[in-house]
Amino acid sequence: MRKLISFAALGLVCLPAWAALEVFATVPEWGALTREIGGDKVNVYTATTAFQDPHRIDARPSLLARARRAQLVVANGAELETGWLPVVLRESGNALIQLGRDGYFEAAAQVVRLDVPSVLDRAQGDVHAAGNPHVHLDPRNVLKVGQALAQRLARVDPDNAGIYQANLAAFSGRWQAAIGRWETAAAPLRGVSVVVHHQSFAYLTHWLGMQEVGALEPKPGIEPSSGQLTALLQSQQTRPARLVLRTAYQQDGPSNWFAAKAGIPALMLPFTVGGSAQAKDLFGLFDDSIDRLLKGLR
C-alpha cells in the first residue's frame, strides 16, 4: 500500500469550497484587520481582549484548543506574546502554524520598529530586543501589515486570493482617506507633551508629532512607585506635560494621582479595538483616540 501523506505535515491547507479559513489572532487589532481583508472567507478567533495586558496571558487550555484547529496564526510579534504564544504553538501539536511555516504570520515584522535598544539589559525592565511592539498605533503601519497579510492569506488559501486582494483594495482606499482626515483633525496635538503609564503609545505620539516627556513606570513593565511619581512631579517644573495617558487595561490609580497633583487631565485611550464603546473596529479606534486627545487639550 502507498503511504498517505498528511497535508498538515507538508504545511498545506486544503479547504472545502464552503469552509472559512480558521484564523487565530493574538490581539484585537490584528483580528480586526484579518476580518477586514478576509471577509466571510475567514473565521477569526482573537485570543485576548482590550482589557488584558497582552504581555501577560496564561496559555490556558481554551487557547490550545483554538490553536489546534487554526490554519493561520496572526501574531503581533516583536516579543509581545513571548510569555505565552510559544507554549500555545508547541502544545497545540499543529504543524501548520509553527514558526517558519506559511501558517504563522507576524505583524511587527512587516514594519520599521521604534525604540530598538542598542544594548539589551534586562535590568532595565521589560525591554524588547526587537523594539517597541505596539506598531498598530501608527495607521500607516496598519496599511503595510494589511498588504503583507493579504499576500499571506492568498498563499495559505489560494482559491480565494482574488477576494483577499479585492478586500485589501477596498480597505486601503477607506483607510488612506481616514488617515488624511485624522491627520487634519489632530493638527492641534503636534508638539503637545505627555506622560504615559507605559510606552504603549510610542507609535501614536510619533505619528502625531507629540512629545513623551516621562513614564509613570520606573522601568518598562514595573508598576509605578511613589518615588517615581514624585520625581516626575518635580520634572513638571522644567518639562511640563499637558496630559497623562494610559490604556484600557492599566489601573487608573497612578495616572489619576499624578494628574491631580500636576493639575492636568488623565486620559484613558482605548489602545486597541474594543478598548472603548466607540472603538468597535480599527476606524473607531483612531476616531476615538484622537477625539479623546483633543478633548483633553480643551
Q: 105-141, pLDDT tens digit by residue?
A: 999 999 999 988 776 565 555 666 889 999 999 999 9
Half-sphere exposure of residue 250: CA atoms within 13 angstroms, side-chain side: 29
In a domain, 13, yes or no: no
Domain count, the chain: 2
pLDDT given for residue 11 in this prediction: 45
pLDDT given for residue 116 in this prediction: 86
Strands 243-246 and 72-75: unpaired
pLDDT given for residue 182 in this prediction: 98
For residues 115 and 61, state if they share a domain. yes
pLDDT given for residue 22 in this prediction: 98
For residues 169 and 193, state if they share a domain. no
Residue at a domain's end among 135, 165, 180: 180
Amino acid letter for position 101: R
d(CA 175, CA 143): 8
For residues 133 and 204, state if they share a domain. no
For residues 105 and 238, state if they share a domain. no
Q: Give every strand in the sheet of 21-25, ordered side by side.
A: 42-46, 21-25, 72-75, 104-106
Q: Residues in the chain with pLDDT < 70?
A: 1-18, 119-128
Phi, psi at residue 281, to the nearest 5°? -145, -175
- Residue in 134, 84, 83 with CA at minimum distance from that of residue 108: 134
For residues 47 and 193, state if they share a domain. no
CATH number at residue 235: 3.40.50.1980
In a domain, 5, yes or no: no
Residue at a domain's end among 162, 180, 198: 180
In a domain, 267, yes or no: yes
Phi, psi at residue 194, to the nearest 5°? -135, 155
In a domain, 61, yes or no: yes
In a domain, 10, yes or no: no
pLDDT digits (tens, 9 = 90+) for 57-93: 999 999 999 999 999 999 999 999 999 999 999 999 9
For residues 29 and 171, state if they share a domain. yes
In a domain, 2, yes or no: no
d(CA 4, CA 263): 71
d(CA 262, CA 270): 23
Residue at a domain's end among 133, 150, 180: 180
d(CA 156, CA 152): 6
For residues 135 and 174, state if they share a domain. yes
For residues 163 and 229, state if they share a domain. no
For residues 164 and 192, state if they share a domain. no
| 3-state class (DSSP) for residue 48 | coil
In a domain, 3, yes or no: no
For residues 167 and 33, state if they share a domain. yes
Q: CB neighbours (10 Å) of residue 198?
A: 25
For residues 160 and 263, state if they share a domain. no
d(CA 208, CA 191): 8
145: its cell numbers: 501589515
For residues 287 and 160, state if they share a domain. no
In a domain, 77, yes or no: yes
Domain of residue 45, residue span: 18-180
